[in-house]
Structure 1
Amino acid sequence: MGAPSLLLCLSAALPLLLHADECQDIRMLTEAQPAKQPFAINCTSPLLTAAARATWYRHPSEAPVSTDPQARVHQEQSWILFLPVAWGDSGTYRCLINDTDVCHQVHVNLTVFGKYGCRRNSQRNLPDGHEQILHVGGDDSLSCHLNFPKSCVLDLNSVKWYKDCKEIKEKRFKNWEKRLLVNNVSAEDRGSYVCKANLTHAGRQFTVSRRIAVNVTEIVGYAGRFPKITHPINNTIEAQLGSSLTVNCTITDSRDNTNLRCWRVNSTLVDDYYPEPKRVREGNETCVVFKEYAVYTVSITFLEVKMEDYGFPFTCHAGFMSAAHFLLRPPAPDGRVYLMGGLLAVVGAAALVLCASRRFRIDVALWYRSAFVSTSTTAAVANVIDENIKLCRRLIIILAPEPLGFDLLKNMSEEQIALYNALIQDGMKAILIEVEKVRSYASMPVSIQYLRQKHGSVQWSADAAAGAPCAKARFWKKVRYRMPPKRFPPPSTASSGAHAL
């Protein structure tokens, strides 16, 4: 079982060995680290693609550095990690980067030296020191270069700063993550600084430190090309009340600069200004390094925009000369939204009424009839009587004996409407039938007198009731005479054609 595994490892490493001589050198680094200190180097480059793969070697060995996270010296992604540095780690390390079509190499010369003392001026010009500059008369900052992979957890609350072996506690100095903020820089701030912090990896605790040799200089000709803030541009940003928002500050600056990049409100750091924890906070700084400059990005995040945030300047600072701000404002109302909302409300109401009318139309009609029933039905009855009378072609009025009286005509709506049609509209002819001989029409209504004068009358005769056939009785002949002639239906088309034949 061991032989196949060995062959597999050799076959995987063989392409790297074959192409090692063809790789292009892109960087040569020199590092000096004290013994017993955690240390890490990253060999990635912004020019490489996401598909690039890095492999670390220690010269002259052609075997890759171990990837076991429990090993003191091992590789994690593109990092080589020393936990901690030992005396025997001095030497040359090579990072081979295989990209899609190219191969690059990074060489690192590492020198390990003994732990330095803490006598005054003993730290000057030691090989692990980083040189940084503070500018007199303004606010500036120092950076603690503690760069490790994500597997190493750096306790930012444990960061402490020392000057000439004494912990810094003056109010002009303030710790902020991996930076030391210095207000009102003076010539006395020149000296040797050390930053220390606690680091945890795979449950193991370490103390890591970095030395910084600090010089001071006057602000002469500083208003040059860098730093330059490209966003924000002193503009206004719309944000909905209660929404979340993230704004990036993009800064172009020279490589290896020491400028402080941060967000402030009223000259106060954002994280210190807001008492409510984490509602408004500054994000971590990211950096993309190019050949002659670097682009930094620092974000400010609002987990919930509140009314107190509107109209307030949030300022991004880069160093002590460059600054840019933005203001928050609520979004302007969109008239189209209100118009669309109104139209939708009208359409919805109409649809609701239509559905309700279809579903409850019978109940509504019955309720309306019971709630608004008319107390008088004389307009409706009169219309029905009038329409039915207009269908008649003759009006027959039987004159009863005088004791019955003619007041009946004054109270019956049917007779009144019929007389109106016969007298006023002249829509039908009247036939007066006298049951008994009327001696005088003077006591009769004027309408009856008029009809008697216009159409005459027919008197009931005894032969009509003596058993003679109705059609041959004199009385019925007079009645039939006054009746309209009988109507026959017009001949159909088929019968007309038959006659023609």
Structure 2
Amino acid sequence: MLRLLTCTLHILTVMCLSLAEVCIDEGVEFDFEYASVGEPLYAVCPLYNFLDSNNFNVTWIRNDTQAEITSDTNARVHQDQNFLKFIPAALDDSGSYQCIFRNSTMCIKKIRRVVVFNYDDGLCYNHSIKFRSEITLTTSLTIECPFLDNYGNYWKIPVKWFKECEPLDLDSGHYGTAPKALIVKNLSTEDSGNYTCEVPFIYNGVTYKLSRTMEHTILDLEKDPEPVMLYPKNDIIEVELGTPITLSCRALFNGSTLLFWTFNESLISDYAGEDRVITGDPVETVTEDGLLHFIDLNFTKVLEEDYNRKFYCHMFYTTKSIKFYVTIKKPDPNLQGVLIAVFLSLFLVIVIAIITIRIFKVDIVLWYRSSCLAKRASNDGKMYDAYVIYPKKFSGTSSYEMDIFVLKVLPEVLEKQCAYQLFILGRDDLPGQALMDLVDETISQSRRVIIVLGNMFCVDESDFEQKIAMYDALIRNKIKVILIEIEKITDYTTVPESIKYIKQKQGVVRWKGEFTEDALSPNTRFWKNIRYQMPPAHRYSDSELHYIHSED
């Protein structure tokens, strides 16, 4: 029984101790403690102002290693009740430190952040870590060397003052001093700049220095221009879904200002739970137009939820503020590719159509003439579709083959099968008619002239016919000539110049077939070319087939 009671008491004791060690976590203190490398730093516990430290034990722990800071005052880093002391500070001292207040009934902790920095190259301060203020132009300015009270009696007067890291001439009359302060007299905008104070600090017989840098901007409200927001200006931009984008808020203002991005009156950090949308650090740079302030808003990728939303860039300066927004929009469909495809297809169709027409031009024209779409030719008053001229007396091609082609083949195909009306001298003329008048008048009553060529020519009535036909074709431009070779002519020296000219201009149709039944089909290539050059077929009435002259 005694053993059971002892075990129970032990368990209750352990549980009570465990409950006592559960600390209330107050989170992270907003402000940092700063010091440059080699300077002393006293970091104050952020709980000091809220609790009576006499009733608590104070413990400092480095957050990343969970190592408790020693209380040995000879150690470079040690704790002294409410203070965490770095004598001096080193670069690797930067980090988070837990200040824990503990007594028998309560435990509470809060994190203090410490930043140890190096000076910028060639300067006595770090540009990103300094105190900033804007002052309206007055008669004088008092600049205090801040945050020295925590160092007790270890700092001494006088304080050394610098502007842009150059020592100030305190005897010039433009400057005066007070305890821990610099007085700038006859203030002007030229007194704007970076002021640094240095105070000697003695610890365990070793002299250190404490330095603070303040950037003061003197504003002449009558002269300084109003800030100009360069971007955004209530803009709308188009961004593809899933692509990254950076929005840069840029403003010109010759003074200190605060730039930040918001959405729905909330900071961007509340917009996306993940690190998809983040803001960069504010940056200042000197340009020809003045001091440029900018801060970026970075999207690792744009999602559907980002479209048609307004992201505001706010700018606070002196006692005023302005804001502008940018809206992300889904881009309109890209019709460029479609238009290119359409025009390319149209171009290919046109090219193919041109090639097709050039290759099948004859077949297309003949099909159109035979279709119901073709307009019927009006009566032009002419009696014959073609006047046929051929040599009657020649050597080379046999007279028999020439006669067969002209008197049998041509009429068989063109007249009987294609409904054309031909005039052939020696077949259609009447005895006793004057040759000159007959030829001239009959050619004028014909729509085409067909000249059949052989290898050899001679002077006969066909030469007379050719001259009249060439006169009408070349001089009067009244009639079209169709040249047919019943065999390939190897020597054109005996051919009249007028026929050479027409051959060069429009070419000839060469007969390559034999006098067979297949060669008499109007659908062969030879006859298609002849029909293509002939006028549209026209059926004549019986009265039109009588010869036009009977007056002798």
TM-score norm. by structure 2 comes to 0.33
